[in-house]
Chains A and B, each alone.
Chain A
């Protein structure tokens, strides 16, 4: 009996302490001291919110650098029991989860590579990211798109290539992760350079 009482009392007390007081206190600290991060690291152009610095978005036009293939989906508005492809749906994260021997995956990798050109392409451009929201490309993945973007914008390739190179971020603290380019930041810089 005394064990039952302890079990119930401690369940309630710790729900109040760790399930409410703790997350709400952290929320308070975040909203007061670190509001930019706490609210999703939003990026503005002028007045308009154009995205989050951390979340990739869908770029389909030739005049923009395009992020990695994304496997996210959304509910089909025509038939709510079905899902349709909706790349970079930041309300429903997912990877492809296709296995290494998957015919579907092999076909998708082949089709993506052929759409980009001859021979092997940068791996990040032909494989789906884990989250479907990967905001980054490898430097090689961005450089591979320079010719297309330069043509669409009517700019010399050298200028666009220099822009990409300026946007390359090194490893964090010089050691962790790998060099990468934030696609949204790159495209914002691109719009500023060559509207």
Chain B
């Protein structure tokens, strides 16, 4: 217990120590003060050719076009991988629906795995296809956050910046150096990096074992850093080649939250009020700690159904790896669902009912507890707008944020985004049940079957990518519907928040008066957390009651399915 808490505490400290300077550095990158790669930047942006300042609509359409181009390229690579080089296993092209699902998945930074890495994808697809989008989807999300911060800070401005410049800087100065450093560390700690497909060995008992290999370290580094999460192998970061030791595990967890957490500080600097960034950091941090405590308790308590046969001292070890142990599996599960990373080092399907509930709820709250790179911050800012609106209603004043009046247009747009998760999860989930496609895909009977379905659609809409993997998602219906859910969950947030930023950019900030409600103090942080929890609970409590909560009660009464 003590050793467990020591590891979790060390993680929190290291995350803070990393996020503060990184946030400062990122702010300098996006204001153009960091220039050590200026020649390369000039070549790339010169070739691109479009360097004009953009209003929110042009910024958003650039992002959409870029993601559409990325989708087409990736879709083509996956569909025709059998005609492309570096395919040592001789894999066939993917089915159209698996290719669409995977291409959407990587372009939207979801990285849902309907595919099984080592059994489906060629090395070329993994590198030129997936690794590229791991960078570019992350860079797109970061660009959005930067544009939004500029819009919030601006005074009577029409422009939010230039998408191509922001995206290129994010890749060149932040993602690429970070990924190279991390990949080399990962390599040294045991992750493979080769173009060979596999090696055959003869085991001590004389059996043959085929070890799947590939360019793992390079992909895993960016998969974590860009909150992507799509694994090289089927079991993702539970695979010993994808996460060989407790040290790679620790570095991976830091990489998952480093940029999202740093963005709160970047934001504070960019709006010229670091207190605003710190308040967001604290609100997110409190939610993270609460989620960790709840899941840790659930997993430590273990599964009462197994208590007569499995020594309860170790907690629930089904679907977990010995080298990580309980605490690192829980800490990972919390960080990966709080961020929109979605890589896993334990099988979430085998978490205890309440442990699984926390993972699901983290996603359903909209992945704003640090969240995905860039989009976690902007998702949180949508809640900030809702919160200042509610606070304004309580005292009967026009709500303000950063000195700017929050009016009907901004509140309507922010409220619109509150519908994204319920549509993607509840409406699409209900459709799957009504058409019978849910029932044929779930692995487990009883309430856990519903949990598997709800988790899948939460993960897709939240752009998370982790799964209750017993659920068979690789069917035409689910590949298509989950693909739509991913698109909805990505652009259903990005476009409204850019529109809000565009509208706020045009306003003139007023000086703070005695009547201004400060958005950096403990009262605001409390209100913000409560708003998030109330919205999430109102939306999802009914379905959680039918799934994980019903299962929890069943397990307590010794009922199996």
A:77-108 near B, CB below 8 Å: 88-103, 105-106
Q: Is the interface of A mostly helix, strand, loop or mixed?
A: mixed
Chain A proximity of B5: nearest CB distance (Å): 11
Chain B proximity of A58: nearest CB distance (Å): 6
Bits for A170-189, please: 1 = Cβ < 8 Å to B, else 0.
01110111101000100110
Could you list 11 A-B pairs, sorted by A, with CB under 8 Å? A3-B65, A6-B62, A13-B47, A14-B135, A18-B134, A26-B187, A91-B119, A127-B318, A128-B319, A130-B320, A176-B246
Bits for A8-45, please: 1 = Cβ < 8 Å to B, else 0.
11110111011110111111011100100111111000
- The size of the chain A interface, using a CB distance under 8 A, is 105
- Any chain A CB within 8 A of the CB of B538? no
Kindly name the residue among A41, A119, A123, A178 whose own CB sees the greatest number of chain B CB atoms within 10 A: A123
Q: Are B448 and A102 in contact (CB under 8 A)?
A: yes
Q: Are A8 and B119 in contact (CB under 8 A)?
A: no
Binds B, one of A134-142, A148-156, A158-166: A134-142
Kindly name the residue among B196, B307, B559, B560 whose own CB sees the greatest number of chain A CB atoms within 10 A: B560
Chain B proximity of A134: nearest CB distance (Å): 5
* Across-interface contacts of B118 in A (CB, < 8 A): 91-93
Chain A proximity of B52: nearest CB distance (Å): 8
Contacts A19-B128, A178-B325; A7 near B310 (Cβ below 8 A) = no
Given A9-B49, A10-B48, A22-B180, 18 other A-B residues pairs in contact with their CB atoms under 8 A: A3-B50, A18-B132, A18-B136, A26-B218, A29-B187, A37-B192, A51-B203, A52-B240, A54-B190, A96-B318, A98-B349, A98-B350, A102-B560, A131-B238, A131-B240, A175-B7, A177-B245, A177-B323
* Across-interface contacts of B394 in A (CB, < 8 A): none
Q: Interface residues, chain A, CB within 8 Å of chain B?
A: 2-11, 13-15, 17-20, 22-27, 29-31, 34, 37-42, 48-61, 64, 68, 88-103, 105-106, 109-110, 112-114, 119-124, 126-138, 140-141, 171-173, 175-178, 180, 184, 187-188, 191
Residue in A42, A121, A177 whose beta carbon sits within 8 Å of that of B201 in the complex: A42
Q: Are A10 and B66 in contact (CB under 8 A)?
A: yes
A99 to B445, CA, bound (A): 9
Range of interface residues on B (Cβ < 8 Å): 35 or more
Bits for B119-135, please: 1 = Cβ < 8 Å to A, else 0.
10000000111011011
Q: Are A38 and B235 in contact (CB under 8 A)?
A: no
Residue in A19, A26, A120 whose beta carbon sits within 8 Å of that of B183 in the complex: A26
Residue in B184, B240, B349, B559 whose beta carbon sits within 8 Å of that of A97 in the complex: B349
Q: Are B235 and A94 in contact (CB under 8 A)?
A: yes
Q: Are A106 and B210 in contact (CB under 8 A)?
A: no
- Any chain A CB within 8 A of the CB of B315? yes
Q: Are A130 and B203 in contact (CB under 8 A)?
A: no
A130 to B237, CA, bound (A): 9
Residue in A50, A55, A68, A178 whose beta carbon sits within 8 Å of that of B204 in the complex: A50
Binds A, one of B68-76, B260-268, B528-536: B68-76
